[in-house]
Structure 1
Amino acid sequence: MSYRIDVEVNSSSTKIPSIEKIELWISAALQSDELNEAEVSVYIVDEQESQELNFQYREKDKPTNVLSFPADIPDEVGVPLLGDLVVCAPVVEREAQEQGKTLDAHWAHMLVHGTLHLLGYDHIEDDEADVMEALETRLITQLKFPAPYTETIES
């Protein structure tokens, strides 16, 4: 498997994981789809830039943890670019603290979550959410972190 993960940091945060960790966590999600080759760009930002992008692309006027931008390249072109992830470091840091998670566990979850969006997974409909969350949980626990979703689903 050949994965290229490019990381660019435009954040003042001092708590961003190492490139090696970022590559490991994204690669775990890519391997779940059995891709032989893929390229993902990761852009780490602060709240203002996240808010601007979230408003521009989702019409939500607030910063968010991760935005996924799947590449729109026809298969016949043969370019392995999967897409771009934009991660807001301060939001991830705040959420980790609020949720009682380690920073690495939440970063791993956000990168896996974003990468799964690039792979076509979604969580708008309940049945899609169940599939995506189950896969996220399997990947995060394989990476030796606690399951990311602690809510109990009542039947």
Structure 2
Amino acid sequence: MLVKKKVASPKLAIDLQFASPAIESTLGKIASPTLIKKWVKSAIPLGGLITLRFVNTTEGKKLNMVFRQKDYATNVLTFPYDLSKNELVADIIFCLPVLQKEAKEQGKLLNAHLAHLIVHGCLHAQGHDHEVMKDAKKMEALEIQILEKLGFANPY
């Protein structure tokens, strides 16, 4: 009789950071740290370290200006530092007020929008992009597939 050995998943450390206690409290009403980490792990099959930082509009605008020369706060910024076949190191910044505004404007549940942008940022950290249509379609298909497995509807 053949016995299959279960291959252990690579160890992915996930660090959650909050710009303020108010941001942490607000986020806690949307999704627990355990749930957020589940969403990250669903999108990243690698080991390594990923930091998710949740910020206010002021910090979000400053980071977007410094790193992208854009004078507004954006929903998500991804900073990949190291990516190999087995490991990833990245920071992903989420501007919570922007996410809240977008969810309201788009008629989406806030937790669904947050899950989508977490998956989106995690895919960026792994080298996926949406600058050209072919790449955008591939990235969107991955997002839809991952979110569906998590119980969320197509965000597009």
Q: TM-score range by the shorter chain?
A: 0.7 to 0.9
Q: Are the equivalent residues in 2 in contact too, given 1:82–1:119 (CA < 8 A)?
A: no
- After TM superposition, the score normalised by the length of structure 2 is 0.85
Answer yes or no: is 1:19 the counterpart of 2:33.
Answer: yes
Q: Which runs of 4+ in 1 moved over 4 A?
A: none
Q: Give matches, 1:5-154, under 5 Å.
A: 5-11=14-20, 12-13=22-23, 14-16=25-27, 17-31=31-45, 35=46, 37-72=47-82, 80-149=87-156
Cα distance in 2, alignment partners of residues 108 and 135 from structure 1: 13
Structure 1 gaps of 5+ residues are 150-155
Structure 2: which 5+ residue stretches go unaligned? 1-8
Q: Which amino acid aligns with 2:110?
A: L
Partner-residue secondary structure (3-state), 1:122? coil
Q: Figure out how many residues of one structure are paired with residues of the other and give that number.
A: 141
Alignment partner of 1:71: what SS?
A: strand
Please give the alpha-carbon distance, in whole angstroms, between the structure 2 residues aligned to 1:94 and 1:121.
25
> Structure 1-normalised TM-score?
0.85
Amino acid at match of 2:37: E
Bigger Rg, structure 1 or 2: 2
Contact 1:28/1:139 (<8 A) preserved:
yes
Query: Residue type matched to 2:54 in 1?
Result: I
Amino acid at match of 1:126: M
Between 1:6-15 and 1:19-28, the stretch displaced more is 6-15
Sequence identity (%): 40
